[in-house]
Structure 1
Amino acid sequence: RYFLVALLAALTLWVGVKFLDEARDLTKPDIGSPTINVSGEGKVFAKPDIGSVSFSVISEGGPGPEVAQQDAAQKMESIVLFLKNSGVDEKDIKTVSYDISPLYSTENKKRELTGYEVRQTLALKVRDLAKLGALITGATELGANSIGGVSFEIDDSEALKLEARAKAIADAKAKARVLSKNLGVRLGEIISFSEYGGPVPFYGYASGFGMGGDIEKSYIPPIPTGQNEIVSNVNITFEIR
């Protein structure tokens, strides 16, 4: 009987110790494999092959909106016809806004309706950049009295994006090799990868176009295109050993 009591006591003690060990294992934080995180950047430069620009026709008239609408419509029709005759494809000509706003007089501290302003804005894509300056001049002579939003882009930039990404990855890997050497560790598998970035459009400048028909002697402005920058930024996490 004494032996049985001693055996039960020993068994109880063993179960208690085992339970405490397992409890400690459950509460022990799992820090996983050690890692390092590095970033890399890749840039590619290329000459753009598409230009974008917007033309606005702004007309005023009264007492109703019809006069301003008719004037704006006639000018815009002439501009669109000129663009098409200059080789611009119809798919690259798009109306992006059409607004009618009342005009008021505040003479003698009395607010009176005097007419309406009509503003129609056209967005244009130019695939022959050599024509861009002449198109801006021609549209202005035909009544476009606001020019803006000149920018340049690359029509097919996928290959350039891939090139920029490859450069960014190579940059990150080179940094990882240097860092692992400084830390005295060896690089293992790639744990995670992320990328951000993309083409950076180049914005030109077009100004000096006040009211339609004011350009002296059909002056054609120079529109330098510069180069576009395609950027890729990556983050790579490596396991280290």
Structure 2
Amino acid sequence: MNTRITFMGWAIALVAVVALGVALVMPRASAAQNPTTDSRKRITVVGHGEIKITPDVAQVTIGVQSEGQDAATALADNNAKMQALIDAIKNAGIAETDIQTVGFSIYPTYNYDSPSPQITGYQVSNAVNVKVAIAGAGDLLDKVVAVGANNVANIAFEVSNPAQALAEARQAAMNDAKLRADQFAGASNATVGQVLVISELVSQAPVFPVMERAADMGAAGNAVPIQPGQQIQAIDIQVTFELN
């Protein structure tokens, strides 16, 4: 009987020791899962960078508008003039991939002087969008007008390869951020350390036109003068530096 009681006592004691051991180990494991928070001092600033760039490509809508007493006559005239226009564009060195039809319409014209409007004829319009190097844009416009183009509109300018300007704008924004951080740190008797975080504040940097005169990019002679001006490639970034 005493032997049995003694054995049960040892068993209870062993269970208690194991439970205590688990209780002692668990807090250590929990502490290992929560590393110490980074206590470094930081400063966060916004940097702005912008680069002026001169466009080298123009996009312009060029078309022909024709009239006739009936739709078939107006269409035939328009087709002939439009084909001559497209041939002239290609002969100027423009690739087919840079010529795209952007509008075509046929509609009647009316005489509204009588009590009941009367159809007096038909008007046909056809237009293409053309992408052309600015250096040859003025000469191209002269050539298409000579073969019958009578609708020229919506000229716009762009940069064929904006990657370099974007990279320069980002570098300028980083330099601006560093300058601002140095100024704030100096005012608080501290120094700026390494970069900890960089974030670009826009997914796509906007391009803004600059209203200032640029060199005439038209060809020599009587070519239409084209003034592309300049554009601004701008970027904003947020930078966090270590503060020493």
Which residue identity is paired with 1:52?
Q
Question: Does 1:47 pair with 2:50?
Answer: no
SS of the residue 2:227 aligns to: coil
Closer, same or farther: CA 183–108 of 1 in aligned 2, 3 Å: farther
Closer, same or farther: CA 201–90 of 1 in aligned 2, 3 Å: farther
Partners of 1:36 and 1:157 lie apart in 2 by: 32
Partners of 2:73 and 2:171 lie apart in 1 by: 58
Which residue identity is paired with 2:92?
S
Question: Does 1:116 pair with 2:119?
Answer: no
Closer, same or farther: CA 102–149 of 1 in aligned 2, 3 Å: same
- Whether contact under 8 Å (1:39, 1:172) holds in the other structure is yes
Which is further off, 219-228 or 139-148?
A: 219-228
Aligned counterparts, 1:73-88, within 5 A: 73-88=79-94
The match for 2:237 is 234
- Whether contact under 8 Å (2:209, 2:229) holds in the other structure is no
The match for 1:7 is none
- Whether contact under 8 Å (1:151, 1:203) holds in the other structure is no
Q: Deviations over 1:92-133 (max 9, x none)?
A: 111111122332221123222333222212111113x33211
Aligned residue pairs, count? 195
Partners of 1:139 and 1:108 lie apart in 2 by: 38
Aligned counterparts, 1:47-196, within 5 A: 47-63=54-70, 65-127=71-133, 129-183=134-188, 190-191=196-197, 193-196=199-202
Closer, same or farther: CA 84–181 of 1 in aligned 2, 3 Å: same
TM-score (norm 1): 0.68
Identity %: 29
- Whether contact under 8 Å (1:192, 1:238) holds in the other structure is no
Divergent runs of 4+, >6 A: 32-35
The match for 1:17 is none
Structure 2 unpaired stretches of 5+: 1-38, 213-220
Structure 1 unpaired stretches of 5+: 1-31, 205-217
TM-score (norm 2): 0.67
SS of the residue 1:221 aligns to: coil
Q: CA RMSD in A?
A: 3.0
- Whether contact under 8 Å (1:152, 1:201) holds in the other structure is no
SS of the residue 1:110 aligns to: coil
- Whether contact under 8 Å (1:164, 1:232) holds in the other structure is yes
SS of the residue 2:82 aligns to: helix
